[in-house]
């Protein structure tokens, strides 16, 4: 038997990390994970099941997912000269990008931001540097960003557009400043593109260090785990060497293609979510005990002003409503909660439960 536990074989930074936690949503109105709350129409479901009958389950899938890549290219208006790389969710794309870097590379991102940028960087032993956003406005602190770029010379910069968890779109001019100043790659993460009337996809031909990352999860296909990266073909050619073979399974390939060919119902659902976002934000902004922030995504961030966010979160859970508690992140997220836009009846249940929580928690 070894004298030390076998976990001592792992790197110290791994032992110091915490696993990404996903809350158990059983028996809750689930408004914590930025999912599309709507299912598929019955006719679409039946046509999809019929389509899947010919999926060759006994064979490995197309390793390049060429037909799906073509469908994504068309539906997302990817410029002809840009390449495309598919991943098992955006998470795999983020991992592939960082695995390709040298061991002493620095990864830079605004904070608060998507936690997996930092999580994956630390798991790979890379240097990670977060740059705080401006308080209240959640805009990029450009003097701090440019100073960090100049001093750290990051190989990779992540910019979520819109940002998660704040929901705002950074000023496009500031992103172009970062593209001009960056010595390495700049990834504009457009996970919430279906809800935002803004994109850097058409800028790909003008910035060789720009990569645009998207996912089909927020559109309504979260269960498929499909993300993609668009950008300079020579860059993606190198990243493709790291991608595991057959990373996009045949059911995902066929289902995503089918959905993109019948995406009108998904676009209609997206419009409904945006309409509901407007209504929920207006309702939240009328509650004097909280501050709700405008959003270009399918969620809304809000801060409790007089009550503990932890207590409000617990009260909502007791009432059967599950949202995201961000208070543990500290900093700008102190006393902050994030709610995903659900169906109209779910949103009304949340608003009623929130008002009860604010009125009845110490």
Give the pLDDT score at 362: 79
Which of 212, 230, 261 is the last residue in one of the domains? 261
Kindly tell me if the per-residue pLDDT of 195 is higher than 90: yes
- Hey, what are 115's tokens? 């936690």
> What is the Cα 240 distance to its own chain's centre?
22
Residue 316 inside a domain? The answer is yes
Tell me, yes or no, whether 138 and 207 share the same domain: yes
Give the pLDDT score at 209: 98
Give the pLDDT score at 16: 85
Residue 271 inside a domain? The answer is yes
Give the pLDDT score at 11: 86
Taking residues 12-21, report their average pLDDT. Answer: 82
Residue 257: φ, ψ to 5°? -60, -45
Tell me, yes or no, whether 285 and 321 share the same domain: yes
Nearest alpha-carbon partner for 53 in 256, 247, 260, 254: 254
Q: Given pLDDT bands bounded at 50, 70 and 90, which one contains residue 121?
A: very high
Tell me, yes or no, whether 341 and 242 share the same domain: no
Tell me, yes or no, whether 14 and 140 share the same domain: no
For 192, other C-beta atoms within 10 Å of its C-beta total 25
Which of 261, 281, 307 is the last residue in one of the domains? 261
Domains in the chain, number: 2
Q: Domain containing 329: what range?
A: 6-41+265-360
Map tokens 């960056």 to a residue. 182
CATH code: domain of residue 64: 3.40.640.10
Kindly tell me if the per-residue pLDDT of 165 is higher than 90: yes
Tell me, yes or no, whether 256 and 301 share the same domain: no
Residue 36 inside a domain? The answer is yes
Is 358 within 8 Å of 307 (Cβ atoms)? Answer: yes
Give the integer Cα–Cα distance in Å for 23 and 26. Answer: 9
- Hey, what are 201's tokens? 């996809």
Tell me, yes or no, whether 111 and 157 share the same domain: yes
Tell me, yes or no, whether 65 and 184 share the same domain: yes
pTM of the model: 0.94
Residue 48 inside a domain? The answer is no
Tell me, yes or no, whether 176 and 101 share the same domain: yes
Kindly tell me if the per-residue pLDDT of 68 is higher than 90: yes
Tell me, yes or no, whether 216 and 298 share the same domain: no
Considering the chain, what is the average pLDDT of its residues? 95
Give the pLDDT score at 182: 98
Which of 234, 261, 288 is the last residue in one of the domains? 261
Residue 147 inside a domain? The answer is yes
pLDDT in tens, 231-283: 999 999 999 999 999 999 999 999 999 999 999 999 999 999 999 999 999 99
Tell me, yes or no, whether 22 and 90 share the same domain: no
Residue 204 inside a domain? The answer is yes
CATH code: domain of residue 280: 3.90.1150.10
Give the pLDDT score at 213: 98
Residue 197 inside a domain? The answer is yes
pLDDT in tens, 330-358: 999 999 999 999 999 999 999 999 999 99
For 10, other C-beta atoms within 10 Å of its C-beta total 11
Give the pLDDT score at 2: 58
Is 118 within 8 Å of 130 (Cβ atoms)? Answer: yes
Kindly tell me if the per-residue pLDDT of 1 is higher than 80: no
pLDDT over 70, % of the chain:
99
Tell me, yes or no, whether 317 and 238 share the same domain: no
Tell me, yes or no, whether 157 and 132 share the same domain: yes
Q: Given pLDDT bands bounded at 50, 70 and 90, which one contains residue 24?
A: confident
């Amino acid at each position: 038997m070894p004298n030390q536990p076998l976990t001592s074989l792992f790197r110290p930074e791994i032992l110091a990390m915490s696993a990404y936690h996903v809350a158990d949503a059983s028996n809750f109105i689930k408004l914590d994970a930025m999912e599309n709350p709507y299912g598929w129409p019955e006719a679409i479901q039946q046509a999809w099941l019929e389509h899947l009958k010919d999926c060759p389950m006994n064979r490995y899938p197309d390793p390049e997912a060429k037909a799906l890549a073509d469908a994504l290219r068309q539906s997302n208006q990817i410029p002809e000269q840009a390449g495309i790389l598919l991943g098992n969710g955006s998470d795999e794309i983020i991992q592939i990008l960082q695995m390709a870097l040298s061991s002493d590379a620095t990864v830079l991102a605004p904070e608060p931001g998507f936690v997996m940028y930092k999580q994956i960087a630390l798991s790979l032993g890379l240097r990670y540097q977060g740059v705080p956003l401006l308080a209240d406005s959640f805009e990029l602190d450009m003097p701090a960003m440019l100073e960090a770029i100049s001093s750290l010379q990051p190989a990779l910069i992540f910019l979520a557009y819109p940002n998660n968890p704040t929901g705002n779109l950074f000023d496009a001019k500031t992103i172009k400043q970062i593209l001009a100043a960056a010595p390495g790659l700049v990834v504009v993460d457009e996970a919430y593109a279906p809800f935002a009337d803004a994109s850097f996809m058409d800028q790909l031909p003008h910035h060789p260090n720009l990569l645009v990352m998207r996912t089909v999860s927020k559109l309504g296909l979260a269960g498929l785990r499909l993300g993609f990266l668009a950008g300079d073909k020579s860059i993606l050619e190198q990243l493709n060497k790291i991608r595991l073979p057959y990373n996009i399974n045949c059911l995902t390939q066929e289902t995503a293609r089918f959905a993109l060919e019948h995406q009108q119902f998904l676009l209609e659902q997206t419009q409904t979510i945006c309409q509901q976002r407007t209504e929920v934000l207006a309702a939240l902004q009328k509650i004097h005990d909280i501050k709700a922030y405008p959003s270009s995504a399918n969620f809304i961030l809000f801060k409790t002003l007089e009550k503990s966010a932890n207590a409000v979160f617990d009260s909502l859970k007791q009432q059967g409503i599950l949202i995201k508690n961000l208070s543990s992140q500290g900093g700008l997220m102190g006393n902050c909660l994030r709610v995903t836009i659900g169906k109209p009846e779910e949103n009304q249940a949340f608003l009623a439960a929130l008002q009860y929580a604010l009125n009845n928690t110490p």
